[in-house]
Amino acid sequence: MQAEEYVRMHELEDHYWWFVGRRHVALKLLRKYIAPQKPTVLDLGCGTGVIARDLSKWARPIGVDMSELALNFSHERGLAELVKARGEWLPVKTASMDAVLALDIFEHIEDDNAAFREAIRVLKPGGALVMSVPAFKALWGPHDVALMHFRRYRAPDLKAKLVKAGFSVERLSYSVFFLFPIVVLVRLFEKKAKGTPQASLPKVPKWLNRSLVGLQDAEAGLISGLSLPWGSSVIAVARKPLA
């Protein structure tokens, strides 16, 4: 990801609806599918550290990112256990993690199959991967170019990759369901726009941002119990078998 996008992320992810909504649904699923008290959670692609900061209230987060800038931002948030590494090769002991959290990470990795194999390797038997990725190749545009994505996913394709790596998929759903028609229109407009590609994070007034966070929180409640048929992201919970 380009350096300026990390700076924007650091400025926005504490409060911007998309970051907050994504974080809330992931943490809700993590609490549902991970049993241990004070679990050790590998935050793969920890970015600027806001998710690991929230995790630290009830878990032991270990942040991993390939960007020195991202790790510096994470350190500024008071996070200590930080590792510079790539998802395809994790300097982490086999079967040492209760969970791996990876929010919009695997699309950045050229060999995502290798990264899925690494994720299952570092998990303890019974441990879970909670993840999100961008959905639908038809939505590809400047947003993906700016964030240096290699692909977007369909839910069945993601499930196939996880199963191939050895996971059992326990929850699979699209997300950003209610706002999906708006996302489609925005992406179509962006494809026609000229200029330097930039991540699509349009400014919204505070009242609307609060409303969108509430809408995404309502969606998080739905996703914990059922699979939504469309959305701009795919959410998955995948388990490493006990044996």
- pLDDT at position 36, please? 79
Residues of the chain falling short of pLDDT 50: none
- pLDDT at position 243, please? 76
β strands within 94-199, DSSP E: 97-103, 123-134, 168-175
Taking only the tens place, the pLDDT of each residue in 163-212 is 999 999 999 999 999 999 999 998 888 877 776 766 667 788 999 999 99
Q: How far apart are CA 34 and CA 17, in angstroms?
A: 25
SS3 content of the chain, % helix, strand, coil (to 5): 45, 20, 35
- pLDDT at position 1, please? 60
- pLDDT at position 119, please? 98
Fold annotation for 3-239: Rossmann fold (3.40.50)
Q: What is the DSSP letter of 107?
A: G
Q: What is the DSSP letter of 207?
A: H
Q: How far apart are CA 182 and CA 239, in angstroms?
A: 33
Say what the pTM is: 0.93
